[in-house]
Structure 1
């Protein structure tokens, strides 16, 4: 029997009895004999919290260390609800002893609860256990909102998702089997009442395992897969390449894994197909120009095509390109849509409405998270930003989304500061946002990189989340049971009707929906007018464009500055050569000037000598003139001189 056979609180009571928490007497020795001391103390505290409530008893004295440790374990749980304490008790027991349930008949299956369990809203009446220690009486099944559901027959047991009784509230599922490794950025899809989980990221390492959760028995199982050899039809037992940030899409009785980050990325996107019947992976050959490899993109099935948008490539470059893969011909088509597309982003969500409109919400760049909503009309291939109604969602990236009819549910995500706690729903016909549920505390539902799938079980619609990262990696499974039952016939018809037929005629039951769809089409046609009236949205878009342009301008400036620096260095070297030549020329000129100076100095000294010579010449001429004059005077004396007896000049003799 699977461990999910008993609903709460029966399952908790059976686990408590197995662990050794019997009514009356000291249970410490029985529990300590089976578990380690820290596990036993934690089980004791959870058992007290579930059966008694929050710890209000005084702390034991220090001389009794055992009772003091038990009190500390119980008191540390604070005001944890009893239902949560029951769930954690069973979870810890399953981690310590996965096969406990199969051995329950060997023990007392019905624990004797000696203290009435306190409930916040009402106290359901618990039927006392039998005293023979072998049979289980039929207590009422307590739901989390305090209401009770009477079990009519011991053999009629609620199984799978039917054990969830509350609506529009997230409920942790207690699941048997070996849990998958905690992860985020994995892929998930539902096929034949099973949720398949593939790959993901754990502690920075990419994963390649394939896990399956049976939604009927709520049991995990790991699938041993084979990889189809490309050269032959035979399959070989080997691991498929680990990846994260990929997309998983169900198609017929198989599903695809598309794109994703890998250790050794290829140039183009890879498409892998898994066949559950043969447990075989195979690489799908596609035609046309494949989009560049990436992760964090969205892939949305629209009729017989897959629409891929955005993501982040192996070089961490954000993308906002649009590609369509025809599933019948496996041919890629690169689409150039008109209008203003969403800014480049990754980790956003996408949904299809009425097989015509592709909606893109949120996501992030390397520094900013978005809360904008874009719509692509797949008939006219035109982008628009229609006006939204209701509350304004907070920016987020790494969130998950799932569609149920015309409603699009958004869960989790982060905004670079903390996880987003509210679960939103967008009516895609009226484009009206509202809050479905809000979680408190640091729970996996307020995390990034989780997955969200939709499953219809016994006429009810369920949202199922798995994994995520909010500071720690998670492998928890939560479910939310939606208030209204979906029309499975209309849902199936909407999924199988051809695209041509859906454009021509629709069922009468969806007449009102057609009017709303036409209203969206009119909004798309009048997108320019709506963009002008939506001032806040335009300001956000302008800010994003300005940020992009500023980053591009900064990059260009840095590149230009680098080029300029190189040119400056080359010019400086050239100037250095020129200056060296000029220095040599100046030195030559200086030598010539020095030579001229020497010559001038010499010329100045010659002038002085010439003056002296001239002076001497003048003196000599004067002397010669005086002598001549004297001689003439002598010769002019004549007879008179001889008469007077003037003596002759001795110098002449």
Structure 2
């Protein structure tokens, strides 16, 4: 199979077919001119530059000496791409062509054109270089074209390999015992297996783990157990939770349960031992909920919104550091999304968190909110393209910079279209639409992505649209039709990042259509044939040279400033990382000390209890001693009194009268 780029465009076969259609991949001059005439001059120039970059490489030829507007524009378009990788140039070539003519591929009779370049009045310095590149490209086309196609013919199509169409949902043949029909479950892909956990079946929460082998498409069930050190016998059934892959383990976060806890719980499933364990967390854990979004960003889980056990909608933002298992409640600036549940979230470039859709108790949303994870600031950017309808309970997954959204409902019916958002350009497109009441037009379904023979495939499972589903659907996206620029980066970044430099004609330069602050110009090329070469004066050339030099100086100054800023930011980042490492070590040390103090405190409490028990025993003994003393004193007094009486009796007998005082006593 051919290699595919991050945006899903197959190359080099698809690129050579596109080049042939655009007129760059054929030696037929008349055909080439006819094809090029389809495009505007600036698009034709841009396609020329990308084709040269993809087939020849960076521009190493000198600027044309003779003043020819066509050749100067071609050279500038090619040279402006600098060190862009050939695969990226192929991707952009096909992408631009699809934007100009979405149906171009169906118009190409032979997808394996001869890769030749036809140039009008080429500069003398470039002749030998271009000739060498053409011979190399012919060999590349043979190697990557016919041989690979021959290999494809030998492949036996079964399972996911049987998917021969793009942008259409297909129900593949699966085997094994199918899971119970469900919705509001959670799924994750790990090592060519899709794990499905929990969900809602006929109003009952589930806690089973079902596994689909994505190579053989065989369902099986895992008999999971709790870890030996756990106080629970079984994991609580739940729905509306999130399942996140973390290394070789799966983390189940939050969710509705029959007996909800006060705070969000995090359970860990070890796929090697098939055991569940409840992870202990620190910090202030958020209140328990379901229908939230949980997104993995680096080593952090970012959780937004949801609905608590009292049916109160939430729009709080919480982050769990998986390395320290510490929760942090984030107070972001800006206007956050309104409280909601059953929305979707995605992360772009590890810098931006995107929240789309969701619902309240009475309505559904189709708004898009972006959180800058560096400044923790909310914004609501303007979207372009085919804006999706309001929906909740949908599912989403990202492939590169594309975010695919499937299913959901709008309180009336299930949503039947599958849409995609290019996250760097903020352009919506419709991938496909299903007909009828099918499980894909459901709420609470799951959506995952897997790779088969180098191609990404979307896998949807379950859902509810009036009845519960356990159906499996797959779709192979073609990643078409996303080109309108809408950059998320800050103005400072956008000002120095060249998107695609395009050369201009003489009239635009004379009109001083140069932008300031180092930004790349967007210029429309005039028809060169209407400007004879002898009409261009020497003064005009000099003005052009001066203007271009000034622009070069401005760009170099801006580049120097950005380099300085970049160095400063790297230094600050290094310092922050060092401080973070130091704080982490201090935190670990403090936790160890806290554990030791807790152990010592427990021992002291035991000793105090023993001492209290001894004191209580001593008090009882003291009371007994006092009683014995009183009894002894009484006994001694009685004995003395008896002795006195006995003495008096013997006195009478002896004839000695007793002392009256003694008798009285």
1:369-518 map, 5 Å = 369-483=364-478, 512=499
CA deviation after TM superposition for structure 1 residue 151, in Å: 9.8
Partner of 2:175: 176
| 1:460 and 1:484 in contact (8 A); partners too | no
CA deviation after TM superposition for structure 1 residue 484, in Å: 5.3
- Counterpart-to-counterpart distance in 1, 2:410 and 2:200: 20
CA deviation after TM superposition for structure 1 residue 358, in Å: 0.4
CA deviation after TM superposition for structure 1 residue 152, in Å: 6.1
Partner of 2:56: none
Root-mean-square deviation (CA), in Å? 2.6
CA deviation after TM superposition for structure 1 residue 512, in Å: 4.9
Between structure 1 and structure 2, the one with the greater Rg is 1
- Counterpart-to-counterpart distance in 2, 1:408 and 1:483: 13
CA deviation after TM superposition for structure 1 residue 239, in Å: 2.9
SS in 2 for 1:333: strand
- Counterpart-to-counterpart distance in 2, 1:283 and 1:511: 49
Task: String of CA shifts for 1:416-449, please: whole Å, max 9, x gaps.
Answer: 0001000000000010001000000000010000
CA deviation after TM superposition for structure 1 residue 391, in Å: 1.7
CA deviation after TM superposition for structure 1 residue 214, in Å: 0.3
SS in 2 for 1:162: helix
| 2:251 and 2:268 in contact (8 A); partners too | yes
Task: String of CA shifts for 1:388-430, please: whole Å, max 9, x gaps.
Answer: 1112211100000000000000000000000100000000001
| 2:159 and 2:172 in contact (8 A); partners too | no
Residues 1:352 and 2:351 aligned together? no
SS in 2 for 1:198: strand
1:63-78 map, 5 Å = none
Distance 1:338 1:472, change over 3 A: same
1:232-631 map, 5 Å = 238-483=233-478, 512=499
- Counterpart-to-counterpart distance in 2, 1:180 and 1:401: 22
Partner of 2:579: none
CA deviation after TM superposition for structure 1 residue 150, in Å: 12
CA deviation after TM superposition for structure 1 residue 177, in Å: 0.1
Partner of 2:189: 190
TM-score by length of 1: 0.50
Distance 1:289 1:434, change over 3 A: same
Q: Which runs of 4+ in 1 moved over 4 A?
A: 149-153, 510-513
- Counterpart-to-counterpart distance in 1, 2:441 and 2:449: 18
Larger RCO of the pair (alpha carbons < 8 Å, separation 6+): 2
| 1:159 and 1:216 in contact (8 A); partners too | no
- Counterpart-to-counterpart distance in 1, 2:450 and 2:415: 23
Distance 1:443 1:289, change over 3 A: same
Distance 1:511 1:180, change over 3 A: farther
Partner of 1:167: 166
SS in 1 for 2:179: coil
| 1:450 and 1:466 in contact (8 A); partners too | yes
Residues 1:202 and 2:197 aligned together? no
Partner of 1:227: 226
Q: Which runs of 5+ in 1 are unaligned?
A: 1-148, 486-501, 520-653
| 2:196 and 2:211 in contact (8 A); partners too | yes
Task: String of CA shifts for 1:75-115, please: whole Å, max 9, x gaps.
Answer: xxxxxxxxxxxxxxxxxxxxxxxxxxxxxxxxxxxxxxxxx
SS in 2 for 1:185: coil
TM-score by length of 2: 0.49
